[in-house]
Structure 1
Amino acid sequence: MLIERLRELIPADRIQLDPAVTASYAHDEAEWAAYGTPLVLVRPRTAEEVQQVVRACIEYEVPVVPRGAGTGLSGGANAVDGCVVLSTEAMTAITEINPVERLAVVQAGVVNDHLRNACAEHGLWYPPDPASAPWSTIGGNVATNAGGICCVKYGVTADYVLGLQVVTGTGELVRLGRRTAKSVAGYGLAGLLVGSEGTLGIITEVTLRLRPQRSPEHTVAGYFSSLVDAGRAVTAVGAAGIVPSALELIDRHCLEAVDQWKKMDLAVEADVILLARCDAPGPAGEEEADAIRDCFERAGATWAARSTDQTEADALFEARRLAYPALERLGPVLTEDVCVPKAAVPEMLARIETIGTKHETLIANIAHAGDGNLHPLLITPRGDHEARERAQRAFREIIDEAIALGGTVTGEHGVGLLKMDGLAKELPAEVLELHRAVKAALDPHGILNPGKVIAVDNE
């Protein structure tokens, strides 16, 4: 039996059978994404222990579902019946921060913000900053290719992954990628694993590129009377050739929810706020901020200004991060993650409004607006089955409209379970077959996070 085999291979304190505990690891934060009942939860502390678990799962033909902190929003970490849930949360070592090479080596369970704080002690910076950064882990960030607020200028997780240590679907423990600044030796297999959501291998260690600490940021806020006007301002900033270090959208629904929860006194005379930051050093940063303010005003802002109150500016960005958990207090939240070209942002926001009205669904909006990554949040009353069905129809229609505008079904949350149908619409049949071929090659036994991302024959 698998459990006895696991007890032979790894220390007993890594194995958890209590149903009350295993149930809490059975799903991520994706609303209404299906999940099953795990057979067992394992929490290894070394890559070699992960390898032993995977080999045992191959031997007994049992699926293994890897997870980090479980903060995902697509169902990518959801259990299937009878699986082993493998949590990397105990793998928390930062084994190296190298100021000369500007890189860090960390285990998969290191929390994003913990890494950022450790880098700051060396005058270095790890840029990817998802809203879940205080809780989400680097392994999970890599598995979903997480983005964040500053990715409009500094890129997403994939831009910082130099190398990986991975347990493959055949039970091998391998290193992919490099530590050097350049390499074209062989296929880019490390890049292939980034964003694969645990379906091609289990990430145990990551080597990450770092940057020097940046200059202090200048904040610009703009108030708008409609989502479309705010979208036009986003397009105007892009057309002006300005690349801010952040350009975020947050609507009144979100601000009011944060106010009710945290009593931050953020109520404003606006339906939508755009928040921009610029981190160019010296006077260039101020000039860039002033140029963004001008773009806001020309696009129809009812008010726009460069902030002189750092506390106030920080509070607005904190509200942006708190928006999702604040809205969850109002009822179940189905979170979208579409991404469209910047020029299509105004039209996509208009279509989202129309969809909300059509399906009688309250849609709050936050967005990494500067790179076209929109997060409509579909809110329903608890226990209202009809409202849930309307929200799910709206969710599917938003995906369809994003694809129609040349966009993608997910910018940073991953495909998981919720976006599988959307991915099948986005990608041609020939490309889907390439995905299946890669899956079959790297996971020939079909045990790694089955049923996620793309349907394959052996699942």
Structure 2
Amino acid sequence: MPHDVVTQLKLALGASVTTDPAALDATREDRSGWRSATPPLAVVHAASVAQVRQVMRIAHETRTPVVPRGAGTGLAGGAIASPGAVVLDVSRMNRILEISEADELAVVEAGVLNGDLNAALAPLGVWFAPDPASRAISSIGGNIATNAGGLLCAKYGVTREAVLGLAVVLADGRLLRTGHRTVKGVTGYDLTALFTGSEGTLGVIVEATVRLRPIARGEVVTVAAVFSDVERAAAASAAVTAARIRPAVLELIDASGLARVAAYLGPAGIAGTPLEGIAPGETFLLAQSDAEGAGAEADAIAAVFESAGGRVSRSADAAAGERLLDIRRAMHPALAASGQVLIEDVAVPRSRLPEMFRAIDEIGRRHGIEIPTIAHAGDGNLHPNFVYSGDEVPTGVWAAADEMFRASVALGGTLTGEHGVGILKRRWLADELGVDSLELQRGIKELFDPTGILNPGVMFESSAFESTAR
């Protein structure tokens, strides 16, 4: 019975378990705009692997659903309270256990924040490359659970490329260690890659061995361009890739988003930048090169932008480059200033970016909805945004999102480039994966979690083994 579960948890873990209404309520949402209909039975603030294992043993014995949660910065509803569940919060597991300069790796607990790890690494001349926009507040365990991306993925890869090994607590409380500390290692199935992006449905990530990179010693050069319309800007970004140029950053903001950013920053915030004096309908494309030969690479990027019709500015000044990146970073605060924001996430082949932007524009006009869009243009990952008022996402927004998801898949793309499936996108999963792949993935879920207690409802609609847990 639910109360027996809470009693067992409190007896085993003491003050780490809370049923305080405010603490329960805080786990009912993340940053996706989705809110759970009910609070959890309890929240466990685990501070050690031993405590996580104890929670999972009790949950396994009592068939109690468990929702693993870190910093709560997710954008797909993948770590929010579900009916009759216990939320297992690992954010207090925030120790950096080891940094090996010789092997260029670090061992960290799941609750370590990206920004905190890189602050510790910087004096050593190395860094952890995954760079989500939420890096200052998002945890590495959550990054791994969603296979998070960010601004630097086109050059440095998504989170999976930076994970060497994991420690994972399974549904029955067993501790599994995967991967290796070596540069190469191909023994057996790659369970590390399987857990990366599994969204807490196969096990609870408690520790990670991650790959580090030397900090680039070359100059950093930033190139910005304003285009008359978004399709020209998207074509220019695709041309950069086709020219075999790999900037560290290649970001695009459409006209609607750019207008909102300019209004948000105000005249003082855009003075001396390409946004000063922008005309209606114009769009913004930003690139940054960060290694030896950055100047020559930036010149080549500028030439591509100019040939595509862009008004180009170039800067090797670090402060000026940061100001240009601040324009990109201001996108979501600018949207949040005018209402609730549903931040979506689709990806298409880079050559088809112009078509996807065209589709978003047509969908917005058809539904009478403005869809400000920003893109990690270097890897074809778009973030269309829906701004709305009230507590719930309007049905018209979901109708437009439905068309947008289908359009991305039709263009050879995917429902999610970096946010994950969570609860928000599970209804479209079969459209992309197909029946056979979906059933195989359900089978993997059932193998690791036969009673369906791990994050029920995330990624997959309710199934026989999930309903057993409920």
TM-score normalised by the shorter chain: which range applies?
A: over 0.9
2:300 aligned with 1:298: no
Unaligned runs of 5+ residues in structure 2 are none
2:284 aligned with 1:273: yes
* Corresponding residue number in structure 1 for 2:60: 58
* Corresponding residue number in structure 2 for 1:440: 446
2:118 and 2:364 mapped to 1: Cα distance?
A: 38
* Corresponding residue number in structure 2 for 1:430: 436
2:89 aligned with 1:83: no
* Corresponding residue number in structure 2 for 1:199: 201
3-state secondary structure, aligned to 1:185: coil
C-alpha distance 398-140 of structure 1, shift in aligned 2 (>3 A): same
1:325 and 1:422 mapped to 2: Cα distance?
A: 28
Tell me if the contact between 1:170 and 1:442 (Cα under 8 Å) persists in the aligned partners.
no
* Corresponding residue number in structure 1 for 2:414: 408
* Corresponding residue number in structure 2 for 1:48: 50
* Corresponding residue number in structure 1 for 2:191: 189
* Corresponding residue number in structure 1 for 2:367: 359
3-state secondary structure, aligned to 1:408: coil
Q: Deviations over 1:10-32 (max 9, x none)?
A: 2x221111111210112211124
3-state secondary structure, aligned to 1:121: helix
1:73 and 1:274 mapped to 2: Cα distance?
A: 24
1:259 and 1:239 mapped to 2: Cα distance?
A: 31
Tell me if the contact between 1:307 and 1:313 (Cα under 8 Å) persists in the aligned partners.
yes
Tell me if the contact between 2:219 and 2:295 (Cα under 8 Å) persists in the aligned partners.
no
1:285 equivalent among 289, 294, 302: 294
2:368 aligned with 1:368: no
Q: Deviations over 1:174-226 (max 9, x none)?
A: 11111111111111111100000000000000000000011332100010121
2:15 and 2:34 mapped to 1: Cα distance?
A: 32
Shift of 1:322: 3.2
3-state secondary structure, aligned to 2:375: strand
* Corresponding residue number in structure 2 for 1:72: 74
Q: Deviations over 1:330-378 (max 9, x none)?
A: 1121111100001100110111111111111111111101100000111
Tell me if the contact between 1:48 and 1:173 (Cα under 8 Å) persists in the aligned partners.
no
Tell me if the contact between 2:45 and 2:92 (Cα under 8 Å) persists in the aligned partners.
yes
* Corresponding residue number in structure 2 for 1:168: 170
Shift of 1:151: 0.7
Tell me if the contact between 1:362 and 1:380 (Cα under 8 Å) persists in the aligned partners.
no
> How many pairs were matched up?
453
3-state secondary structure, aligned to 1:199: coil
Shift of 1:111: 0.5
**TM-score normalized with structure 2 length:** 0.93
Unaligned runs of 5+ residues in structure 1 are none
3-state secondary structure, aligned to 2:124: coil
2:41 and 2:164 mapped to 1: Cα distance?
A: 35
**TM-score normalized with structure 1 length:** 0.95
* Aligned amino acid, residue 77 of structure 2: G
Shift of 1:262: 5.2
Q: Deviations over 1:134-166 (max 9, x none)?
A: 100000000000011011100010001000000
1:47 and 1:258 mapped to 2: Cα distance?
A: 43
Moved more, 150-159 or 305-314: 305-314
3-state secondary structure, aligned to 2:233: helix
Moved more, 211-220 or 46-55: 211-220
* Corresponding residue number in structure 2 for 1:213: 215
**Divergent runs of 4+, >4 A:** 258-264
Moved more, 97-106 or 420-429: 420-429
Structure 1 residues 217-256: aligned runs within 5 Å: 217-256=220-259
Shift of 1:55: 0.8
**Alignment root-mean-square deviation, CA:** 1.6
1:163 and 1:364 mapped to 2: Cα distance?
A: 38
2:346 aligned with 1:342: no
* Corresponding residue number in structure 1 for 2:464: 457
Percentage identity across paired residues of the two chains: 46
Shift of 1:95: 0.7
Tell me if the contact between 2:202 and 2:445 (Cα under 8 Å) persists in the aligned partners.
yes
Q: Deviations over 1:296-326 (max 9, x none)?
A: 111121x112124432321221232232233
* Corresponding residue number in structure 1 for 2:324: 316
2:328 and 2:263 mapped to 1: Cα distance?
A: 14
3-state secondary structure, aligned to 1:85: strand
